[in-house]
Structure 1
Amino acid sequence: MYALYYAPGAASLVVHWLLIELGLEHELRRVDMQAREQKSAEYLALNPNGVIPTLIVDGRPHYEAAALAMYLVDRHPQAGFAPALDDPQRAEYAQWMFNLVSTLQAPLRLWWYPWDLQADDAAVRAGAQAQIETACARFEVQLAQRGPYLLGERLSAADFYLTMLMRWSRNLPKPAHDWPHLAEYARRMKARPSFKTLYEREGLTEWA
């Protein structure tokens, strides 16, 4: 069984979603981020970065949301959410996962937490917004030309990850769902029964 340290709507969301989608037995352990439990000595012993999520697998802690998503779908290939190592699309799949982290997740985090840079918040957010919009425009082109998913007809962990990041953009001046193909993509992903279950379990309502 898996145990997931999570906070509603945080980066743990994609891991939680995949656990549900894959039908895997798991235990949820909520971390109170307002009380900064993620910085407690107990949690830091599991995840020295002091961030969400941490996934306990066979008694051992693992972290980094993108890595956990890739690990789960590789460990449970029955759903086909990751091309096999010898599949021609494997490199493209890995490329999208890393691209999402570097070009979308990173500036989204800056937009939500600009004070981490100890710089002018407005300037940091403006720069982050520009990076986010550039990334969204590129994903829009990909979906328009090769959709309905990032790998064409093949649904993968990258799509669950992108959907989570789109949710994070919901309150930005120009959220990701303002692009038409991304909007349709989000509707398709949110129509999955697992998404409804995820929202119910995490007590989420925004961007439903």
Structure 2
Amino acid sequence: MYTLYYSPGAASMLPHLLLLEIGAAFQLRLVDIESGANRDADYLRLNPNGVLPTLAIDDQPCRETPALLLMLCERHPEAGLAPAPGTPSRNAFLQWVLFLANTLQPAFRLWFYPSDVEGVDAVALKAAMRVRIESCFDQLDELLADGRPYLLGAEISALDFYAVMLMRWSRNMPRPATQWPRLKALADRVRARPSWIHLYDVEGLTEWA
């Protein structure tokens, strides 16, 4: 049994989507960020960083979005959300998951919260992060240049859900991800899936549906 601690539209979207795709039994626990519930002592015992998501696996709290992606793929190989270990596709899968985790997602963090870096001009930092985010979109778009429907090829993987979740975060930026036609086509494929539609209904999301 899984328990997912989530906030609507936060990075908890990724494990939520993967759990729906897997078809595993899970329960949801809302953490209201606006009221500061992520800083409550009870939640900090689960996640000392006070961020989302946290996924309790067999009553053990686990955190870090890309780690949860890998854990769920390993625990449910039958879902086909990751290539098999030792294959060339697996190498690409790991490379691009870590690219999203180490390059694109942190850039979004600084775009939204430039005050995280003290003593730095916020306007300049946001401009730099915009360049980095758009460069990442360029690289993801290039992966699709050969006509493949998904980032690894013919079949959808957890990588696509991760990328589209991050693309969603750009929706109010000067150049959102949907301005790259191939990325928009990828997003449209993911947004048409029952898991995405169900998540929007459960989490009460409406924008970028």
Q: What TM-score, normalized by structure 1, do the two folds share?
A: 0.97
Whether 2:189 is the aligned partner of 1:188: answer: yes
Please list, as runs of the form range in 1=range in 2, the aligned pairs for 1:86-105 lying within 5 A after superposition: 86-105=86-105
Please give the alpha-carbon distance, in whole angstroms, between the structure 1 residues aligned to 2:144 and 2:103. 17
Output the amino acid matched with 1:164.
M
Determine helix, strand or coil for the equivalent of 1:164: helix
Moved more, 55-64 or 136-145: 136-145
Render the CA deviation track for 1:103-145: whole Å, top value 9, x for unaligned: 2111111111111113322111111100001110111111112
**Aligned CA-pair RMSD:** 1.1
Aligned residues: 208
| Residue in 2 that maps onto 1:68 | 68
Whether 2:13 is the aligned partner of 1:13: answer: yes
Label 1:72 to 1:195 Cα distance change in 2 as closer, same or farther (>3 A). Answer: same
Label 1:83 to 1:109 Cα distance change in 2 as closer, same or farther (>3 A). Answer: same
Give the deviation of 1:87 after TM superposition: 2.2
Output the amino acid matched with 1:134.
S
Determine helix, strand or coil for the equivalent of 2:97: helix
Please give the alpha-carbon distance, in whole angstroms, between the structure 1 residues aligned to 2:47 and 2:99. 23
Please give the alpha-carbon distance, in whole angstroms, between the structure 2 residues aligned to 1:97 and 1:89. 12
Please give the alpha-carbon distance, in whole angstroms, between the structure 2 residues aligned to 1:8 and 1:120. 30
Whether 2:80 is the aligned partner of 1:80: answer: yes
Give the deviation of 1:146 after TM superposition: 5.8
Please list, as runs of the form range in 1=range in 2, the aligned pairs for 1:122-137 lying within 5 A after superposition: 122-137=123-138
Structure 2: gaps of 5 or more residues: none
Q: What TM-score, normalized by structure 2, do the two folds share?
A: 0.96
Report % sequence identity: 50
Give the deviation of 1:94 after TM superposition: 0.5
Render the CA deviation track for 1:145-170: whole Å, top value 9, x for unaligned: 26211111131111000010000010
Give the deviation of 1:60 after TM superposition: 0.3
Please give the alpha-carbon distance, in whole angstroms, between the structure 2 residues aligned to 1:7 and 1:126. 27
| Residue in 1 that maps onto 2:117 | 117
Whether 2:201 is the aligned partner of 1:200: answer: yes
Structure 1: gaps of 5 or more residues: none
Please give the alpha-carbon distance, in whole angstroms, between the structure 2 residues aligned to 1:141 and 1:192. 23
| Residue in 2 that maps onto 1:43 | 43
Please give the alpha-carbon distance, in whole angstroms, between the structure 2 residues aligned to 1:143 and 1:99. 16
Please give the alpha-carbon distance, in whole angstroms, between the structure 1 residues aligned to 2:183 and 2:124. 27
